[in-house]
Amino acid sequence: MQSENCPNCGAEVIFRSPALPARICDYCHSTVKRIADGVELAGEVAVLPFDVSPIQIGTRGEYGGKHFDVIGRIRLAYDQGAWNDWLCLFSDMTHGWLSESDGQFQMVIERPLKEIRSKLIRGLAKGKKARIGDRTQIDGSEFVVADARMATCVAAEGELPFAPSTGWEVFNVDLRDADGFSANFELEEDEDPAFYMGHYVTLAELNPKNLRAIHGWKMPDYAA
């Protein structure tokens, strides 16, 4: 854990994950980037639009036998909607993304692209397009493209593996198989493509604690 002061407003900013280079200041929404001898300012992101997500920074849970803390979030929007990608710091200091879209959750963990023997994914990495319904074999299971679209980062908070700026664009492809496994391909301008794999989950399965209390709604028993 590293504690610094925001170069913009002076508020304390805490880096919980040693591996992450950036954090959004909770007070002034500045992006604070770690450098060799401290931190520097790397722009400002927009305030998150109001939503009723049950997750918040500080939500804890379990996945794959490991405990995790939610430490960051980016919000991505496209012409027909928006979703949240929550950054989870696992007890062994590895990271996962809890993707939240239309009330459905998937936990995905990055996999080196070179490990993946899939023509479709290799094609995507080379800049080819995928269409909804396209199929491919990954790790011996058949995945189908459920979603493929350009999205824009509209807001972010907390700790992040990059220094986001509002308006940053990403091409995102979601795949799923018959058993609830999900895979995720992301391509950003001037960045290496990234590939994630994981599983669709329900909130209850994550055994969550410190969910956000939403006015008028009873906290579910599994989170109490």
Partner 1 sequence: MPPEDDRPNPWGEPAPEAAAGPTAERIVVPSESDSAPAAEQFNCPNCGGTVEIKAAGYSVSIACQYCGSTLDVSNPDVSIIQRYEGEVRKLELPLGSRGMMRGTEWEVIGYQRRSENGQYPWDEYLLFNPYEGYAFLDTDGRGWSLGRQLTAAPEKKTLVGFEVDGEFYEPFYAQTRAQVDYVLGEFYWRVKVGDEALTADFVRPGKMLSWERTRNETVWTLSELLEPHEITDAFGIDPPKGGGLPLPHQPSPYRQKAGQFMKLAVAVAVALLVITFLFGGTSDPQTTRINLATNGVEQTAKVGPIVLDRPRQAVTVSAQAPGIENSWIDLTYTLTNRDTGEIFEANNVVERYSGRDAEGNWSEGSSYSTSKFSMIPAGTYELNVFAAGSRWTQSQFGSSSNAQVDVTIEKGATFYSNLFLALLVVFAPALWQWFKHLSFESRRKSDSDFAGGDDD
Stretch that binds partner 1, among 20-28, 60-68, 119-127, 172-180 (CB under 8 A): 172-180
Burial of 99 (0-12, 13-18, 19+ CB in 10 A): buried
Buried/exposed code over 128-139 (b: 16+ C-beta within 10 A; e: otherwise): eebeeebebebe
179 lines the binding site for partner 1 (CB under 8 A): yes
116 lines the binding site for partner 1 (CB under 8 A): no
Applying CB under 8 A, among 30, 53, 59, 184 the residue interacting with partner 1 is 53
114 lines the binding site for partner 1 (CB under 8 A): no
Element (H, E) at 122: helix 119-125
| Amino acid sitting at position 52 | V
Beta strand 181-188 with 194-201 is: antiparallel
194 lines the binding site for partner 1 (CB under 8 A): no
| Phi, psi dihedral angles at 175 (to 5 degrees) | -125, 150
Tell me how far, at minimum, the Cβ of 185 lies from partner 1, in Å: 16
Applying CB under 8 A, among 17, 106, 118, 136 the residue interacting with partner 1 is 106
Query: Which residue number, 122 or 212, has a Cβ lying nearer to partner 1?
Result: 212
Query: Which residue number, 33 or 149, has a Cβ lying nearer to partner 1?
Result: 149
Applying CB under 8 A, among 9, 27, 40, 51 the residue interacting with partner 1 is 51
224 lines the binding site for partner 1 (CB under 8 A): no
d(CA 99, CA 131): 21
| DSSP labels, 61-116 | EEETTEEEEEEEEEEEEETTEEEEEEEEEETTS-EEEEEEETTEEEEEEEE-GGG-
Tell me how far, at minimum, the Cβ of 52 lies from partner 1, in Å: 5
User: Which SS3 state, helix, strand or coil, does residue 128 take?
Assistant: coil
Stretch that binds partner 1, among 5-13, 37-45, 49-57, 163-171 (CB under 8 A): 49-57
Q: Which of residues 60-79 bind partner 1 (CB under 8 A)?
A: 77, 79
128 lines the binding site for partner 1 (CB under 8 A): no
Alpha-carbon separation of residue 197 from 29, 95, 112, 181 (angstroms): 30, 12, 10, 8
Residues that bind partner 1 (CB under 8 A): 49-54, 77, 79-82, 84, 102-104, 106, 131-135, 144, 146-147, 176-180, 182, 200, 203, 211-220, 223
